[in-house]
Structure 1
Amino acid sequence: MRLSFFLLLPAVLVCNCLQAQQSNSVDTAFTSYFDRLPGVLTSAEEAWKLYTPKNSKPATKQYEAEIMVQLNILADHSDRKSYILSWYTDRLEKESKQYRHTDAKVQKDPVLEKAVKEAITDYFSMLDNYLRTVNYSIDTLFKKYTGRTLAEKELQLYQKELPQLYSKTKAIFSKVHQMMRSKGYNTVLQQGNTQHPYYIQLLEARGQLLDKLRELNKQADAANATAAQLVEFCKKDPETCK
């Protein structure tokens, strides 16, 4: 049985950005998006109940939908001038048939560009270290446990390791957010000031941060789903879990 393991975060999702979503304006909130990230579930049985039913929508699925709403709003505002936002929102293939994103002239604030690049680099470095730690521990768990016990141990591992990655990522991205706010860039986004010379870059910077939150959420989603799958195996074939 070959399973892929990722990471998952706590579980109550409350959307405080409906007004921004409904008006199609850019939501520049930051801390609230981190605070609403769903977490690793506390029990394998709970994971099974939430993830096994068809068409179920656990907190991670709801959060994914919320992030995608915001990414699509950013892509709408970019008016096909951003390759990366079109890519994030799966529009690239369709748009590329009519429009060459590379032809768009995007002016950039070099200070913000450097800050975003460094933040993303640091994020991937931390993610790599985290996955090495988790994957090593997972291999050990597979050798020692099976079935429900394995599922519970897997969740406990992620409950221990994920919050550390989460906290470090929040600290790094907060610096970029604070820079954008101090330079008045968040106000530019809120007002939809398309005449601002860095408008497309600001949309992209916001999108890159949101996309990394989406990645964290997907890893969390996979961790819960893995525990649910292990429990499902046990329910279908109890003999394999003794």
Structure 2
Amino acid sequence: VHARDLDGSPRGPGPRDVLCQHILIRACSGPFEAEELYAEVVTAGPYAALTRAAFDDCLDFVATGGYALRAYDRWQRLKQRPDGLWALRDPRSTQLIRMNLGTIQDSDTVKVRMRGSHSQLGEIEEYFAASLVPGDTFLMGGQIVRFESLKEMHVEVSRDRGRKPKVAVFMGTKFSTSTQLSDRILDLLHRGDLTALPAHTRDWIRLQAELSKLPEAGRLLVESFPYEGRAHSCVYGFAGRGAQQTLGLLLTR
């Protein structure tokens, strides 16, 4: 942050979908005058350059559903009263709208069940299920199970106590490592002040350099080693989590 090297593209003007949501939420508080609401909106930095015509377009979209949804009554949310104020067409929808304020869709999950049974053991995130191949084991409901198949958004498993299981990690709305952050990590490893890092992180970097080597920009470090009777490979890529997770799925297939 101090270096002003922020993730993502620079933000542009305020998005119109957010403005439409704000108009609808404002209507939940009671009737409003369009001119007054417009004057309030343009006091926010991202909407300082918003034209009245653009604001009216958003107001019309919320009121009528736009050209695509105009024919459906449920999307005609607002109406203009005889006194010129805008209000919810159906005041009973206020509670439903407020209940969904700030709703964020979490990562999708799939149900886990024993093969040949309809009883559910629990749920795991879809991205974790996609990383499994037949024969992989993981811990679910206090027991070690073996992945058999993924059918109709259900993971089918069987019992297997013989091997060390994978850990089903629940990442939720995960904060992905960006390419900007990856570049800064590489720069820190080779040119940064490591004394400012936590002790356990410094120890890991020291051991990595002694036993193998530190990753470098423009080069791909791959380590192969045996562990607990199985062959393992570790790839140090710095292309950002999204790209690396996709490449990892391709390699395992």
Task: Return the TM-score normalized by structure 1.
Answer: 0.19
Structure having the higher strand fraction is 2
Task: Return the TM-score normalized by structure 2.
Answer: 0.19
| Structure whose alpha-carbon radius of gyration is higher | 2
Structure having the higher helix fraction is 1
Which protein, 1 or 2, shows the higher relative CO under an 8 Å CA cutoff with sep ≥ 6? 1
